[in-house]
Amino acid sequence: MKNKECRIKKKISFLAVLILCILCFSNCMSKGKTGFKNKIAVVVTSGNKDKSEIVFYDNKLKEIFRRNISFGNIASSFDPPVNYNQKIYMIPRGVPFQNEREEVMEYDLKSHNIHSYEIGKPGLFAFDLTSKYLFTTNTLNGISTLSRFEKSSEEIKRYNTKSFSLNFIHCYKDAVFATANRDTKEGAFTYLLKFSGETLKIEWKKKIPFYGDPCFFYSDNKNLYLSSGGEEKKLLKMNGKTEQLSILNLKSSYPQQIVPYKKSLMITHCDLTQGEGKDIT
């Protein structure tokens, strides 16, 4: 918890003015089909006032549309926007200690309308979604929560735990996979947890051989991948059928986003807290 709180404080100061580029709509954070082919959207947001905007450009970087948004502190390099079926989803955290928000924001690429899904938990840490549900994590007063918001009924179901600090999540094959840290007498460990998407019960937990902030997932029909996110030069691979875990060794530290390219995966390497790093695997 102390490491996470320290990182969040650094993150807030780093977000004084944050510019996020959504590589719409072929990047690793994209799910489903979408319009705006070969377009780029840039989210310009501030950490100290409720004022942001999304600016759209064509493939020649000519501005084609601009939308002002009355939310501050939208998304970050740790939780970039997710593009799903012609809608962009982001966490608008608002101004710290002034107007902190408890929702996931949906931006419709066709109508440019904004809809908010009220999760009812402060300090949302990460999210992912399916066509039916939104899932989020947050930790408050030593209790970590996985929340599931059903879009049609707005019903919310939660899983609470004091045993783990739930971090980043990824929806894959009717399940929700979460990274989680646990401090024990034997030391600090990171686990990969598999939750049922319907019951939110833990189906299994497996210790993974790196500790810290693994945050970026990628999955296809065959495998699920998770980057270590820290100094470990490792990429975790899970077989989609057997759910067996294996480790792929990389040449550079701080592996982060994973992007499919033809028959390969491209992986960025960057210390997100310091904003340093330029390698690509």
Three-state DSSP class for residue 10: helix
Q: How far apart are CA 1 and CA 165, in angstroms?
A: 7
Please enumerate in sequence order all residues whose Cβ is within 8 A of that of 143, keeping only pairs 6 or more positions apart, or say none.
160, 161, 162
The predicted pLDDT at position 127 comes to: 96
The predicted pLDDT at position 17 comes to: 38
**How far apart, in Å, do the first and last CA atoms of the chain sit?**
31
The predicted pLDDT at position 14 comes to: 37
Minimal CA–CA distance to 184: which of 158, 160, 165? 165
Q: What is the pTM of this model?
A: 0.85
Which mean pLDDT values do the consecutive 10-residue runs of the chain (281 residues) have?
A: 44 39 42 56 86 90 91 86 91 82 93 94 94 96 97 97 94 96 86 97 92 83 93 93 95 91 91 86 93
Tokens in use for 28? 């690793």
Beta bridge partners of 30: 83
Q: How far apart are CA 85 and CA 62, in angstroms?
A: 24
Q: Is 59 left (phi over 0), alpha (psi -120 to 50) or beta?
A: alpha
